[in-house]
């Protein structure tokens, strides 16, 4: 009996993530980006973001969380964004962006992580976005 409840909870949790990723793709497209959801972006060792987007010469790798009041992004997930951008996207780093996206109710908050923090191994164990945060990434401006 407990196992059935656990499976149902996991399905609901995954559906929430899928929903937020799909909504983010639509939001990005409305703001002039070309965007796709990466369907295999489950917790794995592969350096794949949840959503990949492009606007002009810039490429964006998004890690997406759906929460009510706050979202936590473990260091490993943030590192995967930069591994993806570094290993699989050619070009200078100034055109590649790792962005955390928190879907908090109807509100989106975006936080761009600095390349220097990743390169110098200064990423915190967890990045946190709280509903009252402003974020440091503007979709309309692209940074």
pLDDT in tens, the chain (143 residues): 455 556 555 455 455 567 899 999 999 999 999 999 998 745 666 789 999 999 999 999 999 999 999 999 999 999 999 999 999 999 999 999 999 999 999 999 999 999 999 999 999 999 999 999 999 998 887 76
Q: Is the dihedral of CA 23, 25, 27, 30 positive or negative?
A: negative
Domain positions in the chain = 2-130
Phi, psi of 80 (to 5 degrees): -65, -35
Is the Cα torsion angle 108, 60, 78, 119 positive or negative in sign? negative
CATH number of the domain located at residue range(s) 2-130 in this protein: 3.40.1350.10
Looking at residue 42, its pLDDT comes to 54
Contact assessment for residue 53 and residue 59, using Cβ atoms and an 8 Å cutoff: yes
Position 39 scores a pLDDT of 84
| Secondary structure class of 108 (helix, strand, coil) | strand
- Give tens-digit pLDDT for 75-110: 999 999 999 999 999 999 999 999 999 999 999 999
pTM for the model: 0.86
Phi, psi of 92 (to 5 degrees): -70, 150
User: Is 41 one of the catalytic residues?
Assistant: yes
| Pairing state between β 58-67 and 96-104 | parallel
Q: Which of 41, 44, 46, 143 is catalytic?
A: 41
């Amino acid at each position: 009996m407990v196992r059935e409840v656990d499976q149902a909870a996991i399905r609901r949790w995954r559906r929430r993530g899928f929903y937020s990723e799909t909504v983010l793709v639509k939001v990005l497209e409305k703001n002039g980006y070309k965007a796709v959801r990466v369907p295999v972006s489950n917790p794995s060792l592969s350096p794949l973001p949840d959503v990949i987007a492009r606007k002009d010469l810039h490429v964006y790798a998004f890690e997406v969380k759906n929460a009510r009041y706050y979202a936590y992004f473990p260091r490993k997930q943030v590192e995967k964004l930069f591994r993806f951008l570094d290993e699989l996207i050619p070009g200078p780093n100034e055109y590649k962006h790792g962005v955390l996206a928190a879907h908090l109710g109807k509100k989106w908050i975006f936080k761009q992580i600095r390349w220097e923090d990743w390169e110098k191994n200064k990423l915190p164990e967890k990045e946190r976005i709280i509903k009252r945060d402003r974020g440091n990434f503007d979709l309309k401006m692209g940074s």
